[in-house]
Amino acid sequence: MLKILVAIDGSEHSERIIARILKLISLYKDNVELHVLNVQHPIPYGNRISSVIGHDTIAQYHHELGDQALQSALDVLDNAKVKYVKHIGVGDAAEVILQFAREKQCTQIILGTHGMGSVSGILLGSVARKVVHLSALPVTLIRE
């Protein structure tokens, strides 16, 4: 069984990336286990803030932002009747993606080349490039 990790950042490219992934997984004869991951940035001074408002409140905040970022992509998967497992992580995006892929024993990672970085043209140089450089797994980049 193929275990594919798709990292979605919530950008306008996410739906198009999922549409391409639907075409890709339709080519596989084997069953595909699709994991859809969004990684949220940690809150600056998180320990100080969590001591005031609580860890649960911060976790809920990250979960809500992650749900918002994934919603349009998951709608496309739901409409196509494709099963998936949704995940939300917090931390450095590339590191969380790589750690998650190891923990879930994924066989492939799929990323978009553009996203919601502060300088969008450099995102390939940050998250995608770091994942490609450090991953022991095959990484597929979808350019949108």
Closest Cα partner for 88 from 135, 19, 41, 54?
41
70: exposed, middle or buried (Cβ count in 10 Å: 0-12, 13-18, 19+): buried
pLDDT-based confidence at residue 134 (cuts at 50, 70, 90): very high
* Cβ atoms within 10 Å, residue 99: 13
- Give the pLDDT mean for 126-131: 88
Cα–Cα distance list, 39 to 5, 8, 52, 115 (Å): 12, 8, 24, 12
List the chain domain ranges.
Answer: 2-142
As a CATH number, domain 2-142 is 3.40.50.620
d(CA 29, CA 12): 30
Residue 144: pLDDT band by 50, 70, 90 thresholds?
low
Top-confidence residue, 29 or 108: 108
Residue given tokens 């969380």 in the structure block: 96
Which of residues 116 and 101 earns the better pLDDT score?
A: 101
Per-residue pLDDT at 125 exceeds 80: no
Q: What is the pLDDT of residues 45-99, one digit of tens each?
A: 666 666 667 788 888 999 999 999 999 999 999 999 999 999 999 999 999 999 9
> Looking at residue 118, what is its pLDDT?
45
pLDDT tens digits, residue range 17-27?
898 889 888 88
Q: Sorting pLDDT into bands at 50, 70 and 90, what band is 3?
A: very high
